[in-house]
Structures are given as C-alpha cells and as structure tokens.
C-alpha cells in the first residue's frame, strides 16, 4: 500500500486476516498493525522501486515459511479484539473526563446564562 495519508486502512486489516503480509508506507497506525513477521513499512516518500525491492526481499527472506499466515492473523487477533478496543476506549474517555473540572464548567455555564436577556 503506497498511500501518503491514511489513519488505519481496512485493506491492511483484511490482508492480515487472510494471512497476507503487508508492505506499506509508514502512515497513520499502520506500523502498529504490523509485527516483525507480518509485514514492513517504508518511508512515505519511498520510490516505487523501493516498494518492489521490499516486497521481493520480504518474500525471499520468508519464502517457504508456512507460519507467516499464522503470524499475520495473530497480530490482528492480539491487537484488534473487541475487548481490547473496549478497554482502550474506556481508558481514553476516562482520561479525558478526569481532566474536566465540573465546578469551572458549571460557573461558565451559569455566567453564560446570566448574559442572555430574560425576554427574547
């Protein structure tokens, strides 16, 4: 995948789910999806020749390794389970909520209300 701008493309996840290693530009969260034996990332400005060489090198180094497809699936299963994603979401929301100061927000709201006219 040679995209210059991505967040987390489904194509990468689908390839891993099917046991297919990925060679991709290092954008978004792709580098977190790939393990040592499930693919490789290249700089965003890599040439088409660099991609071709990376695919051939990766394939030549791992040819005949019947466990590669299992490694791809393991990376996906270990990092993208519903339970892990749920925990991460709860942690992220809790972290954001912990930074909120309810009293300050209440004061700001009350001050905003007092600025509005009583009759429209």
pLDDT tens, position by position, 71-113? 888 877 877 788 888 998 898 888 877 767 767 767 777 777 7
Q: Please state the domain count of the chain.
A: 1
Residues in the chain: 120
3-state helix, strand, coil in the chain (%, to 5): 60, 5, 35
* Residue 23 within any structural domain of the chain: yes
pLDDT score at 51 = 93
* Residue 2 within any structural domain of the chain: no
b/e map 101-120, b = 16+ CB within 10 Å: eeeeeeeeeeeeeeeeeeee
* Residue 90 within any structural domain of the chain: yes
Split at pLDDT 50, 70, 90, the class of 118 is: low
Distance in angstroms (rounded) separating the CA atoms of residues 39 and 57? 11
pTM (two decimals): 0.60
């Amino acid at each position: 995948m040679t995209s210059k701008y991505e967040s987390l493309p489904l194509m990468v996840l689908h390839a891993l789910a099917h046991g297919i290693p990925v060679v991709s530009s290092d954008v978004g969260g792709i580098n977190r999806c790939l393990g040592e034996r499930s693919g490789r990332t290249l700089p965003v400005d890599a040439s088409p020749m660099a991609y071709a060489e990376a695919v051939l090198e990766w394939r030549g180094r791992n040819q005949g390794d019947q466990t590669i497809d299992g490694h791809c699936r393991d990376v996906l299963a270990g990092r993208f389970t519903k339970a892990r994603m749920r925990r991460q979401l709860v942690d992220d929301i809790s972290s954001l909520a912990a930074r909120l100061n309810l009293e300050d927000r209440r004061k700001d709201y009350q001050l905003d209300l007092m600025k509005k006219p009583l009759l429209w």
